[in-house]
Structure 1
Amino acid sequence: MPAEGGGRVGLIARLVGSDGGGWRLLFEDSPMGIAIVDRAGRILLANRAAYALAGHVGAPPPPGTALAELFHPEDRAKLETETARACGGLGPRLGLELRLAERRGADGAALGCSVAMVAISPLAEDDGSICGAVVRMTDITRHRVIETQLAQNQKMQAVGQLAGGIAHDFNNLLTTIIAATDFCLARRPLDEATEADLLHIRRSAERGAALVRQLLAFSRRQTLQPRVLRLAEAIEDVASLLRRLLGHRVVLELDLDRPGPFVRVDPVQFDQVIVNLALNARDAMPQGGALAVRTATLTVYRPMVRGQEVIPPGRYAVVEVADNGIGIPPDVLPRLFEPFFTTKKDSGGTGLGLATVYGIVRQTGGFIAVDSKQGEGTTFRIYLPIASGEDAPAAPETPRPASVRHVSLPQPPEAAAGSAAGERGTVLLVEDEEGVRRLTVRALENAGWRVLVAPTGDIALQLLAREPEPPRVVVTDFVLPGMDGAEVVRAVRALHPRVPVILVSGYAESAAREGLPDADLRFLAKPFTFRQLLEAIERSLEAAG
């Protein structure tokens, strides 16, 4: 660089002109990006790390290039302003968080921006005049990604806990509504209008129960029935349904790894995941297009960041659902899996479809990530842990239920022929919800049972202590004030080890059963019909002999 004044050039000339010595080795080999700039912010010297941060893998830009050109266009003005302030004698500037220029792959595809923590320190001559600045850049991209993921995970966990709590309370209400409606329907004869109204109430309660299941799916507290199956076969099974749902304007393309890996999933819930993603893709292609479903395997050796997910090391089966639709705006992507967040309010969207997908995948032990570019399409990738094929059934035991199915109305419970209350023995019922408790007692007595009723676990144990004989079966809710259902089960087993227990809960079976023995323990999910409860009691007694 030509001299602009004796003192000013002296220090920079010595630094730039030095071709050896310890400082130059430290400068070049430093993992921190370092650049020496003049008062105008032009690069006089920069190390390899500085250029690597900005994605320069070939020859560096020529001397005299503005340092701001290595940064994102929206952050260049801030860098220039802070450099000018430092060179203007206002002291060093620390803690600047700036984006670097967007990196691109060999094919020109955008690879995203790195984020750097930037510090600017003025360079002063012996006479105190400032001749330039040293700019230090530390890559904090991974730290910011992890912070964002942690904040997102905490938010999703908090929302999930709220959704799970709401779902539990709603399940109690829905159990009461369904039971009371069943009792009303049993009061024959009914006039046509009354029966129609009651059926409408019951169907509405069932729709509410379906909504609660979606909330439980998001909060990862729903009841799953997982089994080991071939991933390719599972997708083939749902493909015919997808073709009907997508219509003639969307072409379904399958590219499945055969025979492919085994995964451990609930088949019905897995179908729901694929169907929900396919329906979202269909809506993103209003003029038609192509939907590709692909499978592959992936071995992760180090924690892998995909969107807002951090995928730990392991072997994964990957399901890719890709469309060539309108894409998703960047500001929408971070909120995509939040419950009740929807961009389809005008068309009746509830915001629970992708939230349900997220919850099912995470409860299954998997991860989900999404990539999208507006005008080009969206790709969802599901990462499921590969399971051993040793546990896979040799052949399907029963045909898999369809993902979209009609649920017939169960008939209300009827009293056993010739049975009076107490003839069949004693049931201990532990239930804190008054409406559920009252109607359950009524159904059990109609079926010939004597019922010991307790709103808490402590009262239940007091009733047991006064009984000369143990009850034939115990029915207890999982969520109770004081002692919870698990503690009630342990206390009952300590007194009567062989008494069958039916554990009732609006939460997932895995959560309710945690730490409890499987022997003589049956699970019944809320909301339930009393016919289902009576059938569960019969099966428990048969299993106990």
Structure 2
Amino acid sequence: MAGVCEPVVSAVTFCEGVGPADGPRPGPERRVRQHACRGRSSNTQAKAHVPRADATPPLGDARLRGVVERAPVAMAVLDRELRYLAVSRRFLIDHGLGAVALIGRLHDDVFPPVPERWSTLLERCVAGATERLEASPYPRPDGRPKAVRWDITPWYTDAHEIGGLILVSDVLTEREPVREQRGQGQKMQALGHLAGGVAHDFNNLLTIILGYSELLTRQIGPDKSIGRDLRQIMAAAQRAATLTRQLLAFSRKQVLKVAPVDLSAVVADVEPMFRRLIGEQITVETVLARDLPPVMADVAQLEHVLMNLVVNARDAMPRGGVVTMATGPAELDRDYAFTHPGAKAGSYAMVSVRDTGIGMSPEIRARVFEPLFTTKERGHGTGLGLAAVYGIVKQLGGYIGVDSAPGRGTTFEIYLPTTTEAVLAPQVPLPLVASPVGREAILLVEDDDNARAFVKTVLERYGYRVLDANSAEAAVTLLDSQHPSIQLLLTDVVLPGLDGRELAARVTRAQPHVPVLYMSGYMGRLRTAKGFHEPGVQLLEKPFTAHALLTRTRELLGQADDREPVGASPPRDSTGDLVPQ
């Protein structure tokens, strides 16, 4: 602690005076002396004014108490019973004690119950040990924990007996650790905004690439050479779509369809698949809790999270090993939340994935959730898998931690808040109708010209009548001027000016029977306050194929009329699907 002034020199001299009367000073005094003051030679005459301690601690001396009180460090002197003899003003301020009278009171009467390790540490110091705690969580009298660095050293009487303890503390709550945590959080937030914006733009492009490739493949035929080339284009676009979904997951902009979920049941369901995925040289073990409280989660996303963690575990064990998936209840207290930024105290269900692999260095562990950061060879990793895991867990209101060291493997622990809602029986999905035709009128609103052209082309080829607009305002003008009767509103969510939600509200006020199907690759405006899918909202996620577009459209409009559209009788392929002309 920088800053040299007379009271600190006096306090340092007091620390020397309460040591053994002869012989070399023990280490504790030197450490407190270094912690409290640098450059004491600037005022060596102060020693002459401070009396040495005798068998009775000299703290009844008002001058000596004044020296400790004016010290610019957080300092307290206690007797063997941990009763306060003198404290500095800085100690009172840092620990939120204000005008509390401490002299003569016991330490345990001032502070709330502290962890057992702290009581054990004080006992060691009273027995003669010197301790230094780096950024340890310690509760204030009001119960709020703070990160405090402590120097604790015994002081001695002239009889060489320990008279008590000297505490010097440095509160770090608003200093280095929090600055680092805040900086890391801001970095992750900025990356999330960037990732979400990139995913939105890419999803429009990928919709066009996937859609037209699909249409051309059906027209040319999948068995011809150019058809095989087109399938490669579609496969590459699907891989790119997977990357954009991971970017959205990291940026927490996915729409999650949550329901009460049993984590143990989820792990049990995916375990057989994981065994096949990671190979025979790796053993998969599970330790699953029974009667685990449910959590609100999206099962598909949970499975995606576990798969990413298991694949990373496999890659960390090239010579084989053991992957253990475990579940159990967990209570996170305020101490844990304080020392693990992003965690909150409360009741959780925990799922962990532990491997016996090569482990990670502290430098790698600190960056493990950053998007595009990977330690894998080029072509073997995107750096988005764990970033997506992080985003999904955070969007579910949970916390993910990692414990790892070189040579001792890695453990990821995920904590999700529990719910009192009961787990529902799984629903059997309805069979999908393949690329059905229709003749209804659809109002299409999409600001991207190329994406709008693709959607319009697909719908018109399969018999629908399409009115299109490039903005919500243009759609409203079209409805007001032509008064068309429409059977479906198909709109993007993010539009210039009025967005898709506002447009839908206007359309359904005028024509309440009209269903609404949203299209979006960036779904922030379709989420609830907790980031979950709004009940009743119908969504077609970009990028999508022609088949997906036609299927969802038909689902909302009901089954198609048995008759073909007027003036159209397109042939069908071997699967019974319509072949576009």
Which TM-score applies when normalising by structure 1? 0.73
Distance 2:205 2:332 in 1: 45
Partner SS for 2:497? coil
Aligned pairs for 1:1-80 (under 5 A) are 1=21, 9-14=47-52, 18-20=58-60, 24=65, 33-34=74-75, 56-60=121-125
1:397 aligns with 2:427: yes
1:183 match: 215
Q: Is it true that 1:432 corresponds to 2:447 in the alignment?
A: yes
What is the CA distance between 1:153 and its match in structure 2? 1.8
1:506 Cα deviation (Å)?
0.5
**Equivalent-residue separation in structure 1 for 2:391 and 2:272 (angstroms):** 25
Report Cα offsets for 1:429-486 as digits up to 9, x if no partner: 1011111111211111112222111101110100000123331111110111111111
Seen in structure 2, the aligned counterparts of structure 1 residues 24 and 321 have a Cα distance that, compared at 3 Å, is: farther
Q: Report the secondary structure of 1:503's partner residue.
A: strand
Alpha-carbon separation, structure 2, partners of 1:180 and 1:375: 50
Structure 1, unaligned stretches of length 5 or more? 37-44, 72-99, 104-113, 119-133, 400-409
Deviations 1:467-515 (A, max 9, x none): 233311111101111111112112212322221111111024x742559
Does the CA contact (< 8 Å) of 2:135 and 2:172 recur in 1? no
Deviation at 1:345, TM superposition (A): 2.8
Aligned partner of 1:277 among 309, 312, 326: 309
Amino acid at match of 1:271: E
**Residue number in structure 2 paired with 1:126:** none
2:409 maps to which residue? Answer: 377
Which structure has more strand as a fraction of its residues? 1
**Matching of residue 524 in structure 1 with residue 526 in structure 2:** no
Q: What is the DSSP-based 3-state SS (H/G/I as helix, E as strand, rest coil) of the residue aligned with 1:13?
A: coil
Q: Does the CA-based 8 Å contact 1:54-1:102 persist in structure 2?
A: no
Residue identity over aligned pairs, in percent, reads 38
Residue 315 of structure 1 is aligned with which of 341, 347, 354? 347
Q: Please name the residue that 1:512 is paired with.
A: 526
Aligned residues of 1:432 and 1:455 also touching (Cα < 8 A)? yes
Q: Deviations over 1:16-47 (max 9, x none)?
A: 8514356659959x9975389xxxxxxxx998
CA–CA distance in structure 2, aligned partners of residues 380 and 277 of structure 1: 8
Tell me which residue corresponds to 1:538: 554
Task: Rate the CA distance shift 1:489–1:56 in 2: closer, same or farther, 3 A.
Answer: same
Aligned to 2:564: none
Are the aligned partners of 2:134 and 2:149 in contact in 1 as well (CA < 8 Å)?
Answer: no
* Residue 540 to residue 347, structure 1, CA distance change in 2 (3 Å): closer
Q: Give the deviation of 1:380 after TM superposition.
A: 1.1
What SS does the corresponding residue of 2:418 show, helix, strand or coil? strand
For 1:464, which of 464, 479, 498 is the aligned residue?
A: 479
Are residues 1:299 and 2:331 paired?
yes
Preserved contact between residue 135 and residue 148 of structure 2 (Cα < 8 Å): no
Q: CA deviation at 1:374?
A: 2.1
TM-score (norm 2): 0.69
Q: Which SS does the other structure have where 1:331 is aligned?
A: helix
Counterpart Cα distance in 2 of 1:207 and 1:434: 24
Residues 473 and 500 of structure 1 are in contact (CA less than 8 Å); yes or no, is this contact kept in structure 2? yes
2:290 equivalent to 1:263: no
Q: For residue 123 of structure 2, give the secondary structure of its aligned residue in structure 1.
A: coil
In the other structure, the counterpart of 2:159 is none
Written as runs of structure 1 = structure 2, the 5 A alignment for 1:17-416 is: 18-20=58-60, 24=65, 33-34=74-75, 56-60=121-125, 116=149, 137-140=169-172, 143-188=175-220, 192-302=224-334, 304-305=336-337, 309-346=341-378, 348-390=380-422, 392-394=423-425, 396-398=426-428, 416=437
Q: Contact 1:3–1:9 at 8 Å: present in 2 too?
A: no
Match of residue 445 from structure 1: 460
Alpha-carbon shift at residue 340 of structure 1 (Å): 0.3
Whether the 8 Å contact between 1:221 and 1:511 is mirrored in structure 2 is no
Instruction: Confirm or deny: 8 A CA contact 1:368 1:382 kept in the other structure.
Output: yes
Structure 2 Cα separation of the partners of residues 47 and 207 of structure 1: 65
Distance in 2 between the 1:169 and 1:368 partners? 29
CA distance in 1 between counterparts of 2:485 and 2:308 reads: 49
User: Which residue does 1:40 correspond to in 2?
Assistant: none
Q: How many equivalent pairs are there?
A: 457
Aligned alpha-carbon RMSD (Å): 4.1
Deviation at residue 172 of structure 1 after TM alignment: 0.4
Instruction: In structure 1, give the amino acid aligned to 2:178.
Output: I
Quickly say closer, same or farther: Cα 1:304–1:35, change in 2 above 3 A: closer
- Contact 1:520 1:540 survives alignment (8 Å): no
